[in-house]
Structure 1
Amino acid sequence: MTEFQFGQSTCQVEGEIVPVAELNLAPGDAVYFEHHVLLWKDDITPMSTMPLQGGIKRVLAGMPFIISVANGPGRVAFSRDATGELVVLPLHPGMELDVREHAFLLASHHINYSFVRVKGLRNILFGGQGMFMDRFVTGPTPGMLILHGYGNVFERVLRPGESIMVEPGAFLYKDSSVTMDVEFVQLTSGWFGGSTMSLARMTGPGRVGIQSMYVHHHTE
């Protein structure tokens, strides 16, 4: 069991196959989430909904435009009905994080939830992300973001100009300072010709989160 603190509240992550995030919300603290990830809550924990920015664009893109909110005080627990790992990411003031679709579990109310369009036809068709990525931005107050990754999740920190090539379905998150471009790699096999594979080139500076189970947009 691992414990984290945000604001005056605490978060405990426990379980291995399908982990659960259990939060003890203090008065004045809140988290938002999509309703289907709620596992249980105290009967005293107030619930509400919150509209998101870009409502019409979100509807056209098949993304949620109204999200659920749990307000303190009280305990509430969340889980995604899939094997994997819950990644708790403290976000400091001014940080921006880009996240693949369907990976978001919850965020503290100080974090702004928006989205960015994936640029380039090659990235859209072969990048495994679809046309949009979620973007989470902190203002002057720090916050906490929790993501669900399939399999195990590993983080690489890239120096300015440093690149790694990632299987597109393994990408989970990146700092907005990291650029992403899909490249085709030619595989040769002597007399028998070769084949081509697509990989996402991630170029720093910044963090890149990689999940060990490949998930492609058209199969999610």
Structure 2
Amino acid sequence: MQHKIIGTTMPVLVIGLDAYEKLVSETGELAWKTPNVLLHTTTNAAGSSGLFGALGRALAGGGLFMTEYTAEGGPGSVAFAAKVPGTIDSHEVGGGRSYLIHRHGFLCAEAGVSLAVGFQRSLGAGIFGGDGFRLQHVSGQGRFWVELGGEVVVHDLAPGEVIDVHPGHVGMFESSVNFDITMLPGIRNKLFGGDGFFLARLTGPGRIWLQTMTMPNLAHAIAPYLVGEVREGGAEDAAIGGLAGALFRSLR
């Protein structure tokens, strides 16, 4: 299996499959493929089997279904495009090594890679507007690819070294890193600081990948321009703007 990543701010991952090689991704990720690459949508993929395995994967931020890609009768290729400005990176898992990635970070993987819920904790849902913090646990054996927002800052934490990170900027980290949630100190900071109530506390040893852009920040940045367009347009534009506004509110 060969791969190449094309582009910079909106990259595309192109994977070349040998005959009968398999690749798995979440549903809805396909950009393009060669005709001999067949798709099979199933709940029994990425190391899970049956309804409970699929539900566990869904709790981690994935979907109930996964899509398998198989090259039939000869070599083929399949491509996945980035959904937001950012980066696509390749990683290896195996030999006791595993990773945790943010809930929208998993892009695709070789057939021997497993995807499951890694961490789930409430951040005050219904009280402070948080919707919880969920991570996907990637284990098994093989290569997998992740999509992170904006630029990626890689840091190796020494044993006992600690860093506090806004939860949205946690992209991925090795499973040897201890993860916890800590509350932002000071009532003024909580209420008027604009940084929320919680921070993710990462403690070494292990490597972490931090992403500089988050979906909520992107939505907030472009929302005023959508409102301006709606004011200048007619009823049809207002309807479209309303749908777009609902979409961006769901990303917060």
TM-score of the superposed pair, with normalisation by structure 2 = 0.70
Report the CA distance shift for 1:27/1:123 in structure 2 as closer, same or farther (over 3 A): farther
Farther-moved stretch of structure 1 (82-91 vs 51-60): 51-60
Flag the structure with higher helix content.
2
Q: What residue number does 2:23 align with?
A: 31
State the alpha-carbon separation in 2 of the partners of residues 45 and 85 from structure 1: 25
Written as runs of structure 1 = structure 2, the 5 A alignment for 1:172-211 is 172-186=171-185, 194-196=188-190, 197=195, 198-211=198-211
Q: Which amino acid is 1:203 matched to?
A: T
For 1:46, what is the secondary structure of its paired residue? strand
Q: What residue number does 2:97 align with?
A: 95
Report the CA distance shift for 1:129/1:161 in structure 2 as closer, same or farther (over 3 A): farther
After TM superposition, give the deviation of residue 39 of structure 1 in Å: 0.6
After TM superposition, give the deviation of residue 90 of structure 1 in Å: 2.0
Contact 2:61 2:104 in 1 (8 A): no
State the alpha-carbon separation in 2 of the partners of residues 60 and 212 from structure 1: 25
1:113-132 CA distance string (max 9 Å, x none): 1112324x458888x77353
Structure 2: tracts of 5 or more residues without a match: 218-249
* Percent of matched pairs sharing the same residue: 26
State the alpha-carbon separation in 2 of the partners of residues 18 and 49 from structure 1: 26
Q: Which amino acid is 2:110 matched to?
A: S
**Number of equivalences:** 202
Q: Which amino acid is 2:201 matched to?
A: R
For 1:36, what is the secondary structure of its paired residue? coil
State the alpha-carbon separation in 2 of the partners of residues 163 and 14 from structure 1: 35
Contact 2:153 2:210 in 1 (8 A): yes
Report the CA distance shift for 1:88/1:61 in structure 2 as closer, same or farther (over 3 A): closer
Structure 1: tracts of 5 or more residues without a match: 1-8, 188-192
Report the CA distance shift for 1:85/1:194 in structure 2 as closer, same or farther (over 3 A): same
Written as runs of structure 1 = structure 2, the 5 A alignment for 1:63-82 is 63-72=62-71, 73-82=75-84
Contact 1:123 1:181 in 2 (8 A): no
State the alpha-carbon separation in 1 of the partners of residues 149 and 89 from structure 2: 11
TM-score of the superposed pair, with normalisation by structure 1 = 0.79
Report the CA distance shift for 1:103/1:29 in structure 2 as closer, same or farther (over 3 A): same
State the alpha-carbon separation in 2 of the partners of residues 148 and 61 from structure 1: 16
Q: Which amino acid is 1:97 matched to?
A: Y
State the alpha-carbon separation in 2 of the partners of residues 123 and 11 from structure 1: 41
For 1:81, what is the secondary structure of its paired residue? coil
CA RMSD of aligned residues (A): 2.8
1:63-90 CA distance string (max 9 Å, x none): 4122001123311111132211112112
For 1:55, what is the secondary structure of its paired residue? helix
Contact 1:89 1:145 in 2 (8 A): yes
For 1:195, what is the secondary structure of its paired residue? helix
Contact 2:87 2:150 in 1 (8 A): yes
Farther-moved stretch of structure 1 (49-58 vs 83-92): 49-58
Q: Which amino acid is 1:39 matched to?
A: A
State the alpha-carbon separation in 1 of the partners of residues 184 and 59 from structure 2: 33
After TM superposition, give the deviation of residue 34 of structure 1 in Å: 1.9
For 1:207, what is the secondary structure of its paired residue? strand
Flag the structure with higher strand content.
1
Contact 1:157 1:205 in 2 (8 A): yes
Contact 2:60 2:117 in 1 (8 A): no
Q: Which amino acid is 2:170 matched to?
A: F
Which structure has the larger Rg over C-alpha atoms? 2
